[in-house]
Amino acid sequence: MSLSQVLADFVVKTQYTDIPDHSLTVVQASLLDYCACAIAGQNESVAVALRGMLNAEGGAAVAVVFGQTEKLPPRAAAMINGACAHAIDYDDTHFDYIGHTSVAVFPAAIAMAERVGASGKAFLTAAQIGLEVACRVGAYMGRSHYEAGFHQTATSGSFGAAAAVAKLLGLNSLQCQYMFGLLSSRASGLKNQFGSMGKPYNAGMAASNGVEVALLVSHGMDSVENGLETDFVASHHGEANDQALASLGSEYRFDYISHKFHACCHGTHAALEALIGLRQDYDLRPEQIKHIQVKVHSRWLKVCDLPAPTSGLQAKFSYRMVLAMVMQGLNTGDPLAYTDHLHKQAGLQESMAQITVSGDEKLHDTQVEVGVTLSDGRVLHKAYDCGVILPMTLLMDKLTTKAQVLVGAEAAARISAQIADLAYAKRFQLTLDS
């Protein structure tokens, strides 16, 4: 069977009961995180521009939209909601393909679940299928695709978005192949948008493209049956990694999604977790510290080791700044903490002066070692590995805390309750007016 056929059959045949409880919990946790990120990003300039264009278009009030009470058609809602959730770059990442998965798939699944009146279980099944297909297609396209300049969030993400929509529309296997065939021509997105509004737009494009091609096929459109594994992978510098489909349907790669708990560069997160752990374990205060030594894989030194940041954005790419924030009791999980005046805040420069960062090739790029030398001569050590999956209750706790910071306790509780109810809801609904 061709790759497109295998993926199409996975979409068509997978049922709610086929998906392990653990995987469904990861989906629900990620949905909470997606909503919190989207609400936090809903007033960013990119969201304003997209709502401006798409509200002027108007159309059937079918699908919920972040940042306004008026609903819009599914393609439009998916585009806005994908961009909102990626606007502050605080959403989840999957390292199988270096893509942001949730921001491409959830907006498409949400928009279409509303339109077809799906049950909560049907929505969760479709979302899980979509997330899984995004991961698998991303792994199939591989690192060469990414290195050539493509933004996997947008390219592979659109295949996941389409898969979720296809499940909700009840497309058959051949229709799914046509849909992937259309995407081989429609999917796009480059990393050159990083640093501009084009980056979150890429996420919105993925979600919208997924809705578009699935709907077109449901309206009778055809295409080639094997576009992904022939011309798309060849023309888009893909690896055509056939191992990408190993254990499809029995193992869920989306389980290995990585959520962000700090509103700064992912490369700093292991160091932050290690220092936060030490600070909590030993109740450390700034005046006790003599020196903090951080060892990371040297690739990160080129990414997030700015020595003296002078803006909020620069602060997010500075080990010394974000670690100093921890010592000064600032919340690195709050995007609003990264102001342009942050570097002038009392105590921060003093804490920064105590921190040394060095590269260590023996570490994996998800690992870090932190050593803290105290004024009393004691030396404390802690290692941390971001690649290790968190226990589910800890993950939920951390994501709930993050959501509370991003949208407030009340809204976080309201969204959490809706997500918890999804598996029992006769009809999918998500109320976002917060």
Query: Is residue 70 a contact partner of residue 11, using CB atoms and an 8 Å limit?
Result: no
For residue 15, give both structure tokens: 């049922």
Task: Please count the residues of this chain forming the interface with a copy of itself, following the rule CB under 8 A.
Answer: 57
CA distance readout (Å), 132 to 47, 224, 416: 27, 23, 23
Nearer to a copy of itself, 125 or 223 (CB): 223
How far apart CA 400 and CA 137 sit, in angstroms, is 30
For residue 261, give both structure tokens: 């708990």
Nearer to a copy of itself, 1 or 56 (CB): 56
For residue 113, give both structure tokens: 């679940």
Nearer to a copy of itself, 190 or 301 (CB): 190
Shortest Cβ distance from residue 166 to a copy of itself (Å)?
A: 14
Nearer to a copy of itself, 77 or 355 (CB): 77
For residue 319, give both structure tokens: 């080990």
Each residue 147-176 as x (binds a copy of itself by CB under 8 A) or -, in order, gives: -xxxx--x----------------------
> What is the footprint of a copy of itself within residues 235-254 (CB under 8 A)?
235-237
- The amino acid occupying position 307 is P
Rule CB under 8 A: is residue 92 a binding residue for a copy of itself? no
Helix locations, 117-255, DSSP H: 120-147, 155-169, 173-186, 198-218, 233-235
Nearer to a copy of itself, 109 or 352 (CB): 109
How far apart CA 430 and CA 336 sit, in angstroms, is 26
Which residue's entry shows tokens 């849909």? Answer: 179
Shortest Cβ distance from residue 299 to a copy of itself (Å)?
A: 22
How far apart CA 108 and CA 187 sit, in angstroms, is 14
Residue 410 φ/ψ, nearest 5 degrees: -65, -50
Shortest Cβ distance from residue 165 to a copy of itself (Å)?
A: 12
> What is the footprint of a copy of itself within residues 185-224 (CB under 8 A)?
185-193, 195-198, 201-202, 205, 212, 215-216, 219-224
Binding footprint of a copy of itself on the chain (CB under 8 A): 45-46, 48-50, 52-53, 56-60, 73-76, 148-151, 154, 181-182, 184-193, 195-198, 201-202, 205, 212, 215-216, 219-224, 227, 230-232, 234-237
